[in-house]
A and B are shown apart, each in its own frame.
Chain A
Amino acid sequence: MTMGKYTSVSTREASEDGSFDGFHGGFRQSMSWLHTWIGLTLSVVLYFMFVTGTTGYVQSQITRWMTPELGKQTAASTLAHSTEDMARAAVGHALNENAEWKTLYTGWPVKGSVYQDFYAYAEGHAPAEEGVEAKSLDVKFDAKTLSLKDGASGVRETGGGTALYSMHYNLHYMPENPIKIGGYEIAWATFIVGSATMFMLIAIITGVVVHKKIFADFFTFRPGKGQRSWLDAHNLSSVMALPFMVVITYSGLLFYTYEYMPSVKAVTYGYGEKAQELFDRDVYPHYSMGKIERSGTAAPIADVGIMIAKAREAWGGREPQWIDLFNTGDGNARAVVWASGTTGALTTEMWPTLLFDATTGEMLTKPEVSANPAVTVADVLIAIHEGNYAGWGLRWLYLLTGSFGAAMIATGLVLWTTKRKQKLKEGERADLGIEFVDRTNVGIIAGLLIAIAAYFWANRLLPVGIENRGAWEVHVLFITWGVMLLHSVLRPSAKAWGEQFAVAALAFGLLPVLNAMTTDVHLGETLFVTRSEMDLELASFDLVALGLGLIFARLAWKRYTRPATVKVAKQAKPVATTLVAEPAE
C-alpha cells in the first residue's frame, strides 16, 4: 500500500514522530489496531460460541431430529393428558414418597414440546442428626400413561440440541472445580466465555469506530477481488447483524453479571451462603418468594390442578408449565406457578409467576419488592439472547443473524491472513505465524461445521444401547474437528479450503439420505405426504442440511474451478477513496 492511504485516512497520525504503528496513531488508527488484535486473540472461542450458540435457537427441533423414535408431530398431535393431570400425578407421587419436602419442583410438556414426559425433582429438609443426607427425589413420568418411566424408554440416548448449544457457554471439556479467589468462585468455562465476550464487545465498539460508513457497507460487496472481497464480506456480515451482535454480546455478559463484575456485590453483600440468600431475595425476589420458614403445624397440600387452572385464567391464555412447592406438609406451604416462556412476543415479564398458599390453593399477592430497572432491562436483553419467546418466523431470523455473527468472525480471521499474504512480494514466503494461522483457519472455520455434521452422523450411526452414547456423539464432534484441524495444518490453505468444503458438502448434503436410510421420519414421511400428515419442523432439519450441503458444494466447486491464489498485484486505486474505514492497522 502506498503512503497515500495513510495520509488520506488518518487525521493526526504520521505527524510528530513519524510513527505509524497501531496505537501511536490517530484515534481510528489505534482502534483499528485494537480491533484487529482483540478480534484475533480469542476468535476461535468466539467462532465456536457463535456457531454452536446459533444452533440453540432450534435446539428443540434438533433434539427432535436426534430422537427419531419420538416420531412425527403433526398439526393434529395433542397431548394424551391435561396439564392438571400431569401435575397431579407428579406431585402425588412425590408426596407418597415423602410428605415433607423442603422444595418440590415439577414441570410438564406443553403443545409442541419435544419430550413427552414430565418430572418431579425434590429435596427434603436437612435432617436433625449430623452425617445423614437429606432425602431427595428425581424421577420422570411418561406423559402418555402418567406412570413412572423406567430406564428403557425406547428412545435412543442422545446429547440432542441441548448438548450442542450448551457448548457455547460450558465449552464441554472443562475442569469441574471452579476458580476460587477467597469467597469468589467462577467456573473455568464461565471465565473463558466471559473473557471472549468482553473481547467481542470491545471488537464491536472498535469495529463501529473503524467503519465509519456503516450505511454504505450495507450495499457493498465486490466479489472475486481477494482481500477487498473479504473485507466487504466482513463488513456486510457485521453491519447486517449489528444490533443482534450488540445485544447478544452485552446480554452475554449479563448472564453472569455478578461473577464477571463482582466488585459491588462483594461490598454490599459479601460472600457465603447467607449473603447469597439475602442477595437472591433482594434481586431475584420471584425465585425465592415461596421460600419461607415452616410454621410447624401439619397441613396437607391442596389440589395443584386448581392452582394451575387459576393461574391459566389469571394469565388469560398463557399456559402454566412449572409448579414449585415449598414446605409441603406444613401450614406454611407455598406454591409458585410459572408460565411457559413461548409467547411469540417479547414482554418485560418473560417468566410470569403466581404465588399460592399451597394448603388452601388460594392465590396470594406477591411480596412487595422494590423496583429494579437494571434487572428488568437485563431480563429483557437476556430474553432476546435466549429467544425462547420467538415464534418460527423469528427463529429463522435468529438463525440467519447468528450465522452472520459466525461469518463475521470467520471472514475477520480470513481477512487477517489474506491481508498479510497480499503484502508479500513475488516469490516471498509468508512468515511461519501467518502461514500457521492461514492454514488453521480452514480447520477452524470449515472444520467446525463438518464436526457438527459429524455429530448428527454419529447420532444415526452409533449403535443404540452403547454406554454413554450421548457423550460419544459429542466426542465424535470434537474428534472430527481435531482431524480437520490436523488436515488443514498439513495442506496448503488454498487446497484445504476446497477439500474441506467438499467434505462439508457431502456431510450435510447426505444427511437427509442417511436419515431416510436409518429412520422413518425422513422427508418422504414428513414432507411428501398429505398436508395433515406433514411434520414441517422435522422436514426443516433435512431441508436446511440439504441447503447447507448445496452451499458448501458451490464453495468447493468454485475452489476447484478457480483456485484462489493470493494476488500479488496491488490495486491501482487508493483504497481510502472507496472505503475510508479500511482498517489501517
Chain B
Amino acid sequence: MRSAHQEGRHMNTLEEAATANATGVPFARKRGRKSELTTAYRLEVASRALAAIIGGFALASAVAWLVSFGLMASGVQPRGPATSSGTVVSWLVWSGAAMWAFYARSQIAAWGWILAPAAALSALAFLLFSTVGA
C-alpha cells in the first residue's frame, strides 16, 4: 500500500531520495530548493507518533490488565501483588508498540495492529476480571 506522503513527495531520482534521507528527513530543507517535506508527510509522522503514544498506552494497559486479572482469576496472586505484576511489565509492551508504530508499512497497519490486539486483550482481560471476587 502506498501511503499519501509517497505520492506527495517531490523525489525525482533515487539519488535525491537518498540525500534527503541521509540528511534526516524532517529538517532536510535545502537553500533554494523546494522543501521535500510535505504536509502529508508531517501528518503521517504525527499520526504514527499518536499511535505510539496513545495506541501504545492502550496496548500496554491491555496487556497489564490481562496479566493482572489473569493472575487474580487463576488464584495465583491476590489483588495487590497482581496489580504490581501487570503494571511492571507494561513498559516493555509500550516500547514495543512504539517501535511497531514507526516500522509498520502503512498507517493503517500501524494503528490497526496496535488497537485491534488492545481491544481483544482488554475484552479478554475484563472477561477474566468478571470472574474474580464474585
Contact = CB atoms under 8 A, between A and B. Distances in A.
A372 interface: yes
Q: Interface majority SS on A: helix, strand, loop or mixed?
A: helix
B99 A205 contact: yes
Given A18-B14, A265-B87, A431-B29, A372 B99 contact: no
A263 B57 CA distance: 9
Nearest to A433: B27
Contacts of A14: 14
B87 A258 contact: yes
A36 B24 contact: yes
Nearest to B21: A20
Contacts of A24: 3, 6, 105
Given A22-B102, A370-B77, A431-B27, A201 B83 contact: no
Interface in B96-133: 98-99, 102-105, 129
A423 B22 contact: yes
Contacts of B65: 263-264, 267
B43 interface: no
B70 to A, nearest CB: 11
Contacts of B27: 420, 431, 433-434
A27 B83 CA distance: 34
Q: Interface majority SS on B: helix, strand, loop or mixed?
A: helix
A372 B84 contact: yes
A257 B68 CA distance: 14
A329 to B, nearest CB: 31
B39 interface: no
A261 B60 contact: yes
A282 B79 contact: yes
A282 B80 contact: yes
Interface size of B as a range: 35 or more
A498 B94 CA distance: 41
B78 A370 contact: yes
B90 to A, nearest CB: 5
Given A264-B64, A264-B65, A3 B83 contact: no
Contacts of B95: 198, 201-202, 205
A261 B80 contact: no
Interface string A15-35: 001111111100100110110
Contact of B91 (A198, A263, A370, A585): A198
25 contacts: A2-B18, A17-B6, A19-B17, A20-B20, A21-B20, A21-B25, A23-B104, A24-B105, A27-B103, A33-B25, A38-B98, A202-B95, A261-B90, A263-B61, A263-B87, A268-B68, A268-B72, A269-B79, A283-B84, A371-B81, A372-B81, A429-B31, A431-B27, A431-B29, A433-B29
Interface of A: 1-3, 6, 14, 17-24, 27, 30-31, 33-34, 36-38, 198, 201-202, 205-206, 250, 253-254, 257-258, 261, 263-265, 267-269, 279, 281-283, 370-375, 377-378, 416, 419-420, 423, 428-429, 431, 433-434, 584-585
